[in-house]
Structures are given as C-alpha cells and as structure tokens.
Structure 1
C-alpha cells in the first residue's frame, strides 16, 4: 500500500501548495479565498494530468509489440511498467522453454519405429510422425487439419475408427496388399484420439512361414506313420507268408528311416538357428572335407556314378567342421539321388580374384527348371514331390546348406538347365578362407581334417 500513500500525499501536497499560491495571487486582487480554491484545483488537476500522461505511456507500450523497454518513470507507473515487463519476459522465457520441450518430445516421437498420430474431436489430423504418414499414405504437412477418414480408404480401419470401440488393435493391409499394419486407438482429452500404428508385415510373414512349417512337418511325419500303422494292422490281422512278412518289415524299416532322417534334419536346423556363429579361428582342411563328402556320396551311390574331387589340397576354411561337412555332404547326396546311373558328379574348390573361394558340386542330372531355382532353399520345397520322397529326401537338405553358408559369412548359388545338369556353389568370403603355407606341419593338416 506504500504506492497509494505516496500518491495521496503527493496530491495533498500539491493541493496545499496550490491553495497557498492561489491565495497569494488572489490576495493581490482582494480575492484570496477564491484564488486559494482555484490554485488548489489547478494543482490537483496538474497532478492528475501528469499521472494520466504516464499511464498513457504505459498503456501505449502494452498495446504495442513490447519490443522495447517499458517506460522507466519513477513512482507508481514506473513500478507498474517494471512489473509488467518482468512478467512478460518471464512468460516469453516459459514459452520458449515449452517450445523446446515440445520440439524435443516431437523429435523423440519422430524417431520412434512406430507410427504416432494425433486426431482432434472431429478426427482431423493434428500431427503425425513420418512413420505414421508412411503407414497411412499421408503427407505430414499437406494433410494436416484434414479428416483422416477422407484420406484412408481401408473399410476395416474406417469402421474401427467410427465405431469407437478401441479395446483391441485392428490389422489391415495397404492398397497393394504388400504390407500389413496393426493399429491401436487410445482416446484422450476432450474427444481427441491417439492413433498408434505398427508395421507387422515381417511378423505376419514369419507367422505364416511358421504355420506352413508346422503343417509341412505334420504332413511329412503323418505319411510314414500312416504307412507304418497300416503295415502293423496288416501283420496283426492277416496271416502272412514269410516272403510277405519280410517285404512288409522292409517297407516298415524304410518308413522308419525316413522319419529318423526327417527328425535329424529338423534337429540340425534348430541347432543352426539357435546357436552362435562358428568361430573364425578354427581352420578346417578343404581337402579332407571334400574327401569325406565324396566317400559319403560314394556309399550312397554304390558305384552307380563317377564321383571326382578337384582342388583344395592347400586350402582351409575357418568354421565348424561338422556344419561344413553337413552342407557339402547334403549337396553331394542330392546329386547322387537325382543323377541317373552312369552320370558324373564333381566336387571342386576354386579361388576367386577377390581372395574368397567356392566349393562347387556339379552333376549331369536332369537339371532344374528356372522357375524353381529361387525357392530351392525353402523348407520342404520340392521340384517334384513324389520323386523327392522316392529318393529318400526330407526337403530340408538345401535349407540346411543355406544356413551353414550364411553362418560362415557366405551364400549358396544355384545354376541349372533342364537336360544339362546342375551346379550348386558355396561361396565363402576372403576372411573365412586361407591358403596353407608350404612349411605348415602335416599334423596340423590332419587335425584340421578330423576336427
């Protein structure tokens, strides 16, 4: 209240001084009383005018852009201007701080791998990050303040948004059917909505592959089990001669071997997918690797094919001996199964100019049509299903080969022409292969081959 007391005292003092001056002047003209009243009134009016002028200055500053300092008068108006200016500066600082925080928050949402969109009470787009714009096919700047249902044509999503029941997420695909999105809406504020979207294309594809895998495994196992059950029932219900009994037992043994091979390949795949990559400090002799794969293929061929090995005498591969042998042996066994009697099968090691190397397994079999080449390494994919089962294949061999190659930093390449045979090539990077030095002890070669 000090400002009120000060202003009151100033007004009273001005009135007293005005009265005194007015009486002095009025006394000269024998009108002292009237002069005193006039002088007091004039003094108070002068104080009021000065006060009004100072208030007008402050008011003009407040009505302006406040880009300059407030009037620095003494007394009440000066204090009031200072208080206004200080409050406005604090307000501006708070606004700047909040803008920075908002920008940081929006930047964090922008960096999110999920889509985030804000809708107002009329389902108009307030803001969305680039991920949400990509999911819904929007322009984050041009489409702002547009009604979302006018821009997104998916009937499932439009119905979901308009229905207003957001307990569960909804999934819908893009116009081309190539991508699948999961969208969840959460209400907030006064009728506003937060739309969260997530690209689940890969997850859905993986789930589909998993379902197909389970269905294929079930089918592959069910077939020999059905055959075995039929043979068991036959042996239990029908009197069989010794020749018939032996034939049935032989067929049952074949189906049992088929199931055992399938289970073994499934376990191999599970181990490859669930274990870390082989270390790059354990070196395997290529010559020993190719020779052992050739021996396994020769046992399966039983002399019906000509199997040759070329190259690799001075080479080594860094990795798992067991996995590498499994991959090469699978390729050789496939070549033996599908190459007619009298055909040729060759295992070859070749260095590349970039320092890497390849293991080729080629045959003179019937070859594979071009449309099948891209899918050969898929699990249970067969060019000719009935023929593959007749040869004893599980449909998992090439998938195992692909996984082994990838775990050693390489890849599998297939070249085949119908009627001209096939070539399966394992390509290894330079970091995984080396040439054995001439002075390396023979014992190291033996240990590398047998590790």
Structure 2
C-alpha cells in the first residue's frame, strides 16, 4: 500500500514539473494539477484495491479480506464467495478421497491400482502384506518387476482377465494361497483385487481327505461282506461255518452302521452352531448309564472306577453330553490293554467349573499327535485303531459337543503311562 502511494505521489510531482516547464505559469499549472488530481482519485482507489487484492491472493487469504466501499465491494464479495465455494469443494473432495482410502484400507482383500504401463499408482496395506510391497518405496514401479512369478507375468501380458489367477506359496513364509483378478477401468488402467484363499484351500483339502477317508472306511467292510456272501453262495458249507461267516458279516455291518451314525451325528453338530440348551442333566443318572455301557464293553477285563465328587448337575443337551462322555469312556476302554484301569470322575474345581475326566493306563500318546486327535479319521496307529472297532470320528464329535456347551477339551498323555481326557464346563453350565 505504501509503495503504491509513493509511486502515485511521484507521478503527481512529475506532472507538476512537466506542466510548469510547458506553461511556465503557476496559475495554469495549479489548474491543470487540480484537474489531474481529481481525475486521479478513482485511479488511485482502483490501484489501491488491486494492490490489496494481489496481496491477499498471494497470501491465500481472499476469503478473509475486508470489503471496500463502492463498486469494488461487489467484486470483492463475489470473489470471496467464489474462493470459499472452491475451497469447500476441494475439502469435500479430499474428505471423499480419504473415505475411499479408509474403505480400501479396511477391505480384507488386497487392492492394487495400476496405470496403463502396469505401474503401481496405489495399493492398500493388505496388498503390501500379500506381496511384500511398500507403497512409499514402490509407487510408480512396474508390478511385474516386483512380483516375478512367471504365471503372474504371463497373466498381465495376455490382457485377458476373464478368469482369476491362483498364486500359491506366497507371503514371507510361503504359506499363503492368493486368488487375484484384474479389472480394467478408466484409460487403460487396471484394478487388481487379491483375496487370501488359504483357509478355503485347506478346507477343500480337508473335504477331499474326508471323502477319501469315508470311502476307504466303507470299502473295507463292504469288501469283506461281499467276500463272505460269495463264499456262502458258491460253497456248500456246514451249519457251523455258515454261522461263523454270518457272525463276521454282522460284525462288518455293525461297523458300517456305527460309521454312518457317527457321520450323521457329526453333520448335525456342524450344522447347528447355536449354543446348546440349558436343560438340567442329572450327573448321577449319567454316570450310571456310562458305567453300564463301560462294563458291557470291557467284559470284566479292566478295573473301572466311576466317582462323582460333587452333587452339582450340568446344564445342556443330555443326548449330546451323553454322547461326548460315552466316546471318551469307550475310547479309554478300547485303547487300554486288559488288566489296565480306567477312572471316570466328575468334580468341581476352585473356579466353580465342572470337570468330567477319564484317566486310563493305556499306551499313551506322543505329544506330536495331541493337537490333531480331534481331526476326523485321524489315528495315531491306523491298524490298531481298526482292531478296536473305532470309527475315527469320536473325538471330532466330542470337540463339536464341547464347543456347543462352551467347554474345553483338555488332553494330557505320557507315552507308556496313560492318558487323561477332560471336559471342563464353565460355571454358567453348572446347576446347584
């Protein structure tokens, strides 16, 4: 502002000097000077406002400047409103951009934006984890320079993205299976979506193993049955031999029946994920049923002990709890050699939790097998397991029943000394 006034004063002084030199008459000079001054006032006002406007534009403070008077007031006001609207639009756009970025970051899938040359324009943190990328470091780098898997490079070069691509052994430890697909957008850009399908791959492998195991378990008794039937049909056997073959066939039929029943039980448990009901289960009655079944299965070959150290009952589904308890007791008897002992106990711990435990003096289980015992058809010793008559589904059933009753299945075992299987129920499942 001061410099503008200085320049204006200099111009006025020069005008005075020029007028005096031309006219050499102070009267005429003052007249001309007065006219110039009157004409210069609007120019000075305009110059001052332009200088103010320039200063506010350079300082980015147009929306906060004070309004002048006269026709400049409307100009300043409209300019202020225009700047405020533009800044509001910019803020809104930035907020939307931040929301989109937050949404992409919250996505469980990896997202990579590529330009027309397959250079990384942006990626979220999940994609960084999947591919070992760093957005700050790798921005505008060609993605095929960073992910050098031949099938991935070929997928990008073909430019045919109708089908997704599966990349296995990804991640820092090579444990990830990633399903990715590119989607064109904009001007030759691509959006790369990446999904972690490791669990799906494992589930599919488990499904294949399950089908294979069921087929194998069913094929053995069916083969035996068919062999006996062919023998009975083709040979003229004595009555004693026929009875022996029929007993063997009945045994194999019962084995298949047990397997089918366990499969149906397991399917029902897996389909029903809701917590079990809170019906009162009388432990005294339950222990009596378990004892009768155990004595029938043992045929007097084991020392059996059934002890209830608390009168507290259990809240849950009686049929399911009986199935879980019965599986633990029958497993202990089957895997414990003759003259061994099996101890079944119901008690309360110091935290008010109910504990049902089965302790045997069997061969025990090595520690590397303990974490896999509840897998379907998992057996420590396959040949010996079939001899005991088990289906390989008992502990899987126990695990699902314990989950529905919010219980813990705890396993302790020492090779050569025996094992203890315990179901620990929360105090909310204990009845007075």
TM normalised by structure 2 equals 0.84
Q: Name whichever of 109-118 and 189-198 sits farther off.
A: 109-118
Q: In 2, are the aligned partners of 1:58 and 1:71 still within 8 Å (CA)?
A: no
Q: 2:357 aligns with which of 353, 357, 360?
A: 360
Q: 1:158 aligns with which of 142, 153, 159?
A: 153
Structure 2 CA distance for partners of 1:66 and 1:73, relative to 1, 3 Å? farther
Aligned residues between the structures: 403
1:67 matched to 2:64? The reply is no
Q: Give the whole-Å Cα distance in 2 for the aligned partners of 1:408 and 1:59.
A: 76
Q: In 1, are the aligned partners of 2:310 and 2:347 still within 8 Å (CA)?
A: no
Alpha-carbon RMSD across the aligned residues, in angstroms, is 3.1
Q: What does residue 209 of structure 1 align with? A: 206
Write the deviation string for residues 326-357 of structure 1: whole angstroms up to 9, x where unpaired.
11111111112122222211101232111112
Instruction: Give the secondary structure class of the aligned counterpart of 1:325.
Output: helix
The answer for unaligned runs of 5 or more in structure 1 is: 1-25, 29-37, 437-451
1:339 matched to 2:336? The reply is yes
Q: In 2, are the aligned partners of 1:120 and 1:193 still within 8 Å (CA)?
A: yes
Q: CA deviation at 1:223?
A: 1.3
Q: Give the whole-Å Cα distance in 1 for the aligned partners of 2:159 and 2:201.
A: 26
Q: In 1, are the aligned partners of 2:310 and 2:348 still within 8 Å (CA)?
A: no
Q: CA deviation at 1:66?
A: 3.7
Q: Name whichever of 209-218 and 156-165 sits farther off.
A: 156-165
Q: What does residue 14 of structure 1 align with? A: none
Q: What does residue 126 of structure 1 align with? A: 121
Q: Give the whole-Å Cα distance in 2 for the aligned partners of 1:429 and 1:52.
A: 85
Q: What does residue 233 of structure 1 align with? A: 230
Alignment of 1:45-444 (within 5 A): 53=47, 57=51, 60=54, 64-68=58-62, 69=65, 72=68, 74-75=70-71, 80=75, 82-173=77-168, 174-175=170-171, 176-279=173-276, 281-434=278-431, 436=432
Structure 2 CA distance for partners of 1:49 and 1:408, relative to 1, 3 Å? closer
Structure 2 CA distance for partners of 1:55 and 1:431, relative to 1, 3 Å? closer
Q: In 2, are the aligned partners of 1:286 and 1:313 still within 8 Å (CA)?
A: no
Q: In 1, are the aligned partners of 2:276 and 2:404 still within 8 Å (CA)?
A: no
Q: Give the whole-Å Cα distance in 2 for the aligned partners of 1:182 and 1:252.
A: 49
Q: Give the whole-Å Cα distance in 2 for the aligned partners of 1:352 and 1:184.
A: 54
Q: Name whichever of 254-263 and 239-248 sits farther off.
A: 239-248
Q: Give the whole-Å Cα distance in 1 for the aligned partners of 2:67 and 2:56.
A: 10
Q: CA deviation at 1:392?
A: 0.8
Q: CA deviation at 1:65?
A: 4.0
Q: CA deviation at 1:259?
A: 0.3
Q: Name whichever of 125-134 and 381-390 sits farther off.
A: 125-134
